[in-house]
Chain A
Amino acid sequence: MRPFSWGAVTLASTALALACVDDVVLPDAEIGAVCGNGALEPGEACDVQSPGCVSCAVLPNWTCRSTGCSPVCGDGVVGSGADCADARRVEPCDMSGYWATREANSTRDAVVGALQSSSNWFLFRFEQDGDSFRVAESLDCGVHVTGTVTVDSTPGTLRSSMYANRMDGADGTRRARRGTSRRAGAGCEVTFERWYKVRGATDAYLPVDFDARPTLASLPPLPSADDPVNDTHVPEGSVDPDGDGIPGTSFRITGFVSGIRNAAQRDWKEYATAPGAPAPASVLTFAIPGSFDLEESVLRVTECESTCGLIASSARAATDLPGSMSFSYIGRALGTPRVDGVVAGPPRANVDDDLTTCANVRLLLPHEGGP
């Protein structure tokens, strides 16, 4: 009898192994640098949205990282070496000059109760006198809210809100907003006083005296609509600042639900460094804690199809969570490379210039809190 052959078993096993087939993904092809895709590729000095990065080249007096660009030395800023390493302000606690700021606060959406992260950007020019400073010029550069849904100013709102609620006192209705900045040890104690704003309603809904620090609940109720989905009447006291023919300030909602929400809003915000925790002195960018409150009355919802009922719900402030205000120093005066790289022209002189300025401000201090 012929003996059993292990060779046959080996041969069969090999045949089976050869018959096994795997999936394969071939390596990605190497492609040339694509400027504007957000990835720093060979041949690009930068690829980031920033006024300091144009055609993927870094402009003079700017330095760029993957997260953004910032202007370097000159106009109140000094540093070391040719590339102005360790850039810092010349006057450690002096707030004079142009600043990009971002107010970061939290709200709760009224449908699912989830936290929303809110950013509100401003361009400020401060004038400091002693330990105090005041707002000399300002632009409100819009809001961006993320969380369960994403909320943005519509283009009309962006244009109209830039000049609303002015804080420079130039319209004569109230004095300029003030703050303090004084040396405290190795840092600076900074405060920015409480300020009230209203959107989508007349200034009659603002407190007569900001210094009295009234609560929002103690003020006259905002204009309201019984049924924001179907009601088309114009509530008394409302205004249409964005010119869309619908009362209230309009915001675009995207994400889980989508549509346009026109609302009347009122808020106050104030900021101050905590006792014993001053802001770092001389730095170009710092943040201080603060608090705020918000009221919203939804007046109309549109372009929302079956989800109108959801976006008709008003957001409310998450007052249990601290807010913050980030400051990014731009420079002292127009006409210098540092300032002209961000501020497209004298504020309030040209709307298109101001829109460009605001876009640059938002790029200097990106929104945080998720997509």
Chain B
Amino acid sequence: MRRSVGVVSATLVLGVTARASASPLLDTFGPVGGNAGVQGVVSGPGAASTYFNPAMLSEADDELLLGYAVLSEQIGVTLDGRRGGEVPLVVGDRDVIGADGQPIANDSVPTQWLEQGCPAGTAAGECPSPGFSPRRRQRAGSSGKTRTYLALGIVKPLVKDRLTIGAYGMLPLSSFTTVRGFYNDEREALFSNSLHPELYGDRMTALSAAFGGAFKLLPSLSVGASVGLSLANGVRSTTYVRDTTDYDALLLNNSVSTQIDVSPNVGVRWRPDGAVRFGAVMRPPSSFKLDTAVDAALPSGTESGTRRQETYHYVPWRVGVGAEIDAIRRGRYTLSATASLTYAFWSTYEDRHGQRPSFYGADYAWSDTMSGALGVRHVYGRARGFVDLSFVPSPVPRQTGRSNYVDNDRVGLALGGDVEIQVAGARIRPGLSLFAQRLVPRYVRKDDALVRDELPDDAVLGATRDAVPGARGLQTNNPGWPGFASAGYLWGGTLTLSVPL
């Protein structure tokens, strides 16, 4: 076959498909409305029970729920100052050879380029136009976001004392269903050169909705099921790259599809007597998968392709149980104590690049977690209130090596209540709740021996076989090196209005 040379053209085909059925937002935020606090598995039957324990719909008053919610992420990342470890400028010449005689990988750039950029030009020390833009450490951090949501819910008995259906959802009012990919190791230096909290950010923008129903098997026993509902997006982009050195000449066709995807929740509710209540729920894992296929062909006859699967909004299997007991009953006043536990199988976690944390070694695999909450409920006539304390441990082990998963234990306080009032003859139930969670400060200092050395000590210059200046010791652009700390808060609140149907 005659090889075609001389004309610059290439074909690049991008194929992207996606599936979604995730609800990390609901799990992080907790139930909105009613008296559930953060323990929807056993407490405060209402529209939110559709997601948190659908069996409790059988005890919920019929209602239409409207809510306005605020969630603020204030998670600060503090990077230690670097102590040397610079990848030298000569690496930018792409003419450095390792001890095996092969050029070192192209996935590292001089540290100075990241901090100061590389100016465009043709002189020594300059880069081809338009140059290399600086990516200063942590300048593109993703902390400090405040988002608002619209909460909607409905509960309606279909068969009195037997079958009740419900719907519940939270709709982000901005940044709708975004995904943001990042690497959790030195590769991120080539992009944002920053660390990002792993379990927040774009995960808090997912559209989250559930539809379900409860069936009362016995006066004291109900079961329920619901489906978590989310949008699934599919994108297929086909591009024609005429010139691999000039992407302005790119020709592009996009095909976009949106579909509904579901994941089932099942729950059970048991009231052995009027003063004690139990609940349990099981939710399967869910995620937003993004498949990307890239195929490139050059007129010289060379073809190359790759396929990547990214994972967003991953939530693992979770099993929750809870108990609530009326401790004090005096006339119109009742005080109840509530406790719940949730076991989450975080050891199956896949990060945004579809990579298990155990990729970095067995010591860096995530752990399953057991989180819990304790609280009290007050009911006085038509007024209700709650106070909950919660603890959610982090599944992320100490990041002493290559990886930089940022996550913290959370200790939280939630309080709120609502009251039924009459307005123009109509009964309504306005409510207010507030919560704050402290992300317990965490610091890790990297072990240099476990961080990838991006320039081997025995590297030589390809042109002269001379030793590379500055190759001794560790050279790394890992944004988390030599150590980092994280801490912060999640805080928010809701204003709700429940209208009996």
Write out the residue numbers on chain A whose beta carbons fall within 8 Å of the beta carbon of B90. 38
| Nearest A residue to B78, CB-CB | A24
Contact partners of B144 in chain A: CB under 8 A? 20-23
**Also in contact, A19 and B300, with CB within 8 A (given A37-B470, A38-B470):** no
Question: Interface with B: A144-152, A232-240, A336-344, which one?
Answer: A144-152
* A134 at the binding interface (Cβ < 8 Å): no
Instruction: Contact check, A313 vs B5: say whether CB atoms are below 8 A apart.
Output: yes
Tell whether, in the assembled complex, residue B244 and residue A112 are in contact, meaning their CB atoms are under 8 Å apart.
yes
A254–B94 CB distance below 8 A? yes
Q: Does B465 contact A155, Cβ atoms closer than 8 Å? A: yes
What's the nearest-Cβ distance from chain B to residue A33, in Å? 11
Contact among B84, B137, B462 for A152, CB-based, below 8 A: B462
Task: Identify the closest chain B residue to A253 (Cβ).
Answer: B103
Q: Do A21 and B488 have beta carbons less than 8 Å apart?
A: yes
Q: Which residues of A contact B298 (CB under 8 A)?
A: 111, 309-310
Report how many residues on chain B are interfacial, defined by Cβ distance under 8 Å: 63
B76's contact among A24, A49, A258, A306, by CB below 8 Å, is which? A24
Known contacts A38-B88, A111-B5, A153-B463; decide if A26 and B80 are in contact (CB<8 Å).
yes
A19 and B463 in contact, given A31-B83, A111-B8 (Cβ under 8 angstroms)? no
- Across the interface, B3 reaches (CB within 8 A) one of A20, A142, A309, namely A309
Instruction: Give residues 12-42 of A contacting B (CB, 8 Å).
Output: 19-29, 31, 34, 36-38
Of B72, B300, B464, the contact of A111 (CB 8 Å cutoff): B300
**Residues of A close to B465: CB separation below 8 A:** 155
Cβ contact within 8 Å between B464 and A362: yes
Nearest Cβ distance between residue B113 and chain A, in whole angstroms? 10
B 271-299 to A, binary, CB cutoff 8 A, 1 in contact else 0: 00000000000000000000000000010
Is B335 interfacial (CB 8 A cutoff)? Answer: no
Q: With a CB–CB cut-off of 8 A, which chain A residues contact B88?
A: 37-38
Contacts A26-B78, A368-B124, A371-B94: A113 and B8 contacting too (C-beta < 8 A)? yes
Q: Give Cα distance in the complex from A308 to B256, angstroms.
A: 36
Is B122 an interface residue, CB under 8 A from the partner? Answer: yes
Cα separation A254 to B436 with both chains bound (whole Å): 54
Contact indicator B469/A114 (Cβ below 8 Å): no
Q: Is B127 an interface residue, CB under 8 A from the partner?
A: yes
Asked if A199 CB lies within 8 Å of chain B CBs, one says no
CA distance A336 to B50 in the complex (A): 92
Contact B472 A23 (CB under 8 A): no
Question: What total of A-B pairs shows CB separation below 8 Å?
Answer: 150
On chain A, the residues within 8 Å of B463 by CB distance are 142, 144, 152-153, 362
Specify which chain B residues have a CB less than 8 angstroms from the CB of A27 in the assembled complex.
81
Q: Which of B81, B138, B301, B302 contacts A29 (CB 8 A)?
A: B81
Q: A284-305 CB contact bits vs B (8 Å, 1 = yes)?
A: 0000000000000000000000
Given the complex, which residues of B lie within 8 Å of A101, measured CB to CB? none
8 A Cβ contacts from B115-139 to A: 121-124, 126-128, 136-138
Known contacts A36-B469, A144-B463; is-contact A309 B76 (Cβ 8 Å) = no
Q: Which of A34, A153, A254 has the most CB of B within 10 A?
A: A254
Q: How many residues of A contact B (CB 8 A)?
A: 54
Write the chain A residue with the least CB distance to B243.
A112
Chain A residue with Cβ nearest B469: A36
Q: Which residue of A lies closest to B86 (CB)?
A: A37
Task: Report how far A307 CA is from B128 CA in the complex, Å.
Answer: 22
Minimal Cβ-Cβ distance residue in A for B489: A19
Chain B's closest residue to A30 (CB) is: B83
- Cβ of B92 within 8 Å of any chain A Cβ, yes or no, is yes
Evaluate contact between A29 and B82: CB separation under 8 angstroms: yes
Closest Cβ–Cβ distance, residue A230 to chain B (whole Å): 11
Cβ of A359 < 8 Å from any Cβ of B?
yes
B-side contacts of A25, CB under 8 Å: 78-79, 81, 136-138
Interface membership of B348, Cβ < 8 A: no
The answer to whether A21 and B487 touch across the interface, beta carbons within 8 angstroms, is yes
The distance from the CB of A119 to the nearest CB of chain B, in whole angstroms, is 9
Which residues of A, 92-135, contact B by the 8 Å Cβ criterion?
A: 110-114, 117
- Residues of chain A lying within 8 A (CB to CB) of residue B77: 23-24
Chain B contacts for A368, CB-based, 8 A? 122-124
Q: How far is the CA of A144 from the CA of B93 in the complex (A)?
A: 11
**CB within 8 Å of A: which of B67-101?**
72, 74-84, 86, 88-90, 92-95
Most buried by B among A25, A113, A309, A313: A25
Q: Is the CB of A20 within 8 A of B78?
A: no
- Closest residue of chain A to B490, judged by CB? A19
Q: Is A255 an interface residue (CB 8 A)?
A: yes
Q: Does A252 contact B (CB under 8 A)?
A: yes
Complex interface: chain B residues within 8 A of A144 (CB) = 95, 463
Min CB gap B465→A, angstroms: 6
Tell yes or no: A198 within 8 A of B by CB.
no
Chain B residue numbers with a CB within 8 Å of A21 are 74-76, 143-144, 487-489
CB–CB B78/A114 < 8 A? no
A147 nearest CB neighbor, chain B only: B128
CB atoms of B6 and A110 under 8 A apart: yes
CB contact list, B1-53 vs A, under 8 A: 3, 5-8
Chain A residues lying within 8 Å of B491, measured Cβ to Cβ, are 19
CB distance from A124 to the nearest CB of B (A): 19
B304 CB–A CB distance under 8 Å: yes
Tell yes or no: B447 within 8 A of A by CB.
Answer: no
| Chain B residues in 8 Å Cβ range of A335 | none
Q: Decide if B141 is an interface residue (CB 8 Å cutoff).
A: yes
Q: Which of B106, B128, B141, B466 contacts A23 (CB 8 A)?
A: B141
Measured CA separation A365–B88 after assembly (Å): 20
Q: How close is A308's CB to chain B, nearest CB, in angstroms?
A: 8
Give the chain A neighbours of B194 by CB distance below 8 A.
23
Given A19-B72, A21-B75: A254 touches B127 (CB 8 Å cut-off): no
Complex Cα gap A313–B2 (Å)? 12
Nearest-Cβ distance from residue B246 to partner chain A, whole angstroms:
9
Chain B residues in 8 Å Cβ range of A36: 467, 469-470, 472
Q: Report the bound CA distance from A264 to B71 in whole Å.
A: 68
| Pair A150/B93 contact, Cβ less than 8 Å | yes
Query: A23 vs B193: C-alpha distance in the bound complex, in angstroms?
Result: 13
**Inside 8 A of A369's CB, which chain B residues have their CB?**
122-123
A308–B301 CA distance with the chains assembled, in angstroms = 10
- Provide the residues of chain A in CB contact with B136, threshold 8 Å: 25
B422 at the A/B interface (Cβ < 8 Å)? Answer: no
| B122–A370 touching, CB < 8 Å | yes
Bound-state CA distance A22–B298 (Å) is 46
The reply to whether the CB of A266 lies closer than 8 angstroms to some CB of chain B is no
Sample (26) of A-B pairs whose CB atoms are under 8 Å apart: A19-B72, A21-B75, A21-B76, A22-B143, A23-B194, A25-B79, A27-B81, A34-B470, A34-B472, A38-B470, A67-B124, A111-B298, A111-B300, A147-B128, A155-B465, A254-B95, A306-B302, A309-B3, A359-B466, A368-B124, A370-B121, A370-B126, A370-B128, A371-B92, A371-B93, A371-B95
B interface with A by C-beta (< 8 Å): 3, 5-8, 72, 74-84, 86, 88-90, 92-95, 103, 106, 121-124, 126-128, 136-138, 141, 143-144, 194, 243-245, 298, 300-302, 304, 436, 462-467, 469-470, 472, 487-489, 491
5 closest pairs, A vs B, by CB? A37-B470, A21-B76, A29-B83, A23-B141, A21-B74
8 further interface pairs, Cβ-Cβ under 8 Å (given A21-B488, A148-B245): A31-B83, A113-B8, A144-B463, A306-B304, A312-B300, A368-B124, A370-B126, A371-B92
**Which residues of A are interface residues toward B (Cβ below 8 A)?**
19-29, 31, 34, 36-38, 47, 49, 67, 110-114, 117, 142, 144, 146-148, 150, 152-153, 155, 252, 254-255, 258, 306-310, 312-314, 359, 362, 366-371
